Amino acid sequence: MEFAILAAGEGSRLANEGLTTPKPLVQLNGIPLLQRLIHTFEANHASKIHVIVNAYSHAVAAFVKSFPATVPINLLVKTTESSLHSFFELLPFIEGDKICLTTVDTVFDPVEFSGYIAAFISDNKTDALMAATSFVDDEKPLFIQTTGNHTITGFFDRKEVNCNMVSGGIYCLRRPVFSTVTNAVNNGVTRMRNLQRILVKEGFAIKAFPFSKIIDIDHVQDIATAENWLHSTKHLH
């Protein structure tokens, strides 16, 4: 199975707070975010890892090029408008019939992640399996409306009926979804949350997979929050 890391964002909020390190290289307990994800994907038997970085993050591109990965890494250097556009740019390089992609600033429990990947691989009837959590950390959370078996029936900017979880920024998708990504970008759609709404509207089989906690590194204070969480749970180190 292939994996992808969307690392083409500017990290402007961190920079505005005085952090000069590019977001993908921000360290949690001494390990860069990008490295943490690559190691997690390797541990989940990745056949290839795709990484997209923006054209002015030379340090990030250099880090990827020199990284001693145990699986092939496809590096794409391109500045994009949004995470959805980053995914769109990676589409021509995806060889298999499924992909797991995440933004570079997503911190999660690797044991839960392995369960997530196993659940996706074993359920061929699900077109998309979205990571979800009841832990609301995002400034603008995307609420997920689900049925009793975690089938997703809607995505909302505000909490609606049967919205007990929010999107975690990790997406497992099968190839039938890829053409919808292309159509969405060609029609001017931006942001992954808008793609998710389109997938529901078009009738794809979408489910949510619950994680206990997912933390996004958007602000400097999030670094300490994530580090403390990693420290508090031994198997997360």
| Interval 58-86: pLDDT, tens | 999 999 999 999 999 999 999 999 999 99
DSSP E strand boundaries for the chain: 2-7, 27-28, 31-32, 48-53, 73-77, 98-103, 106-108, 128-133, 143-146, 152-156, 163-174, 206-211, 214-216
The pTM is what?
0.96
Per-residue confidence at 234, pLDDT binned at 50, 70, 90?
Answer: low
Instruction: Count CB atoms within 10 A of the CB of residue 29.
Output: 13
pLDDT in tens, 19-60: 999 999 999 999 999 999 999 999 999 999 999 999 999 999
Contact indicator for 129, 118 with CB cutoff of 8 Å: no
Ordered domains of the chain (ranges, CATH): 2-236 (3.90.550.10)
pLDDT in tens, 181-214: 999 999 999 999 999 999 999 999 999 999 999 9
